[in-house]
Amino acid sequence: MINFSFVARNGEQIIPLDVKLDYLPGNQTQRARRIAVGELLAKLEIENATIDASGNDMATVTTADGTWVIGESYSNQGSRGKL
């Protein structure tokens, strides 16, 4: 399993999104980001949105309530503990 952590932001609102995928060779970040978009729509209970996932490091979801930007979540390395 590979775990991906994303954060969706809309102004001051922040929603953490975690995606777990079975391991496959190659880069799966874009696939995980697209799954995170679906999770965001489910959490917001929104049926219609405009999605731009063409960027390499983020996806943009535009709804009637505003625009959400989904990017990878990075934690402070000091808080992670021993690697």
Residue 26 clears pLDDT 90, i.e. is over it: no
Buried (b) or exposed (e) across 42-59, using 16+ Cβ within 10 A? eebeeeebebeeeeeeeb
pLDDT in tens, 62-72: 999 899 999 98
Could you tell me the two tokens for 2? Answer: 């590979």
Please report the pLDDT score of residue 56 as a whole number: 78
Q: pTM, whole model, 2 decimals?
A: 0.80
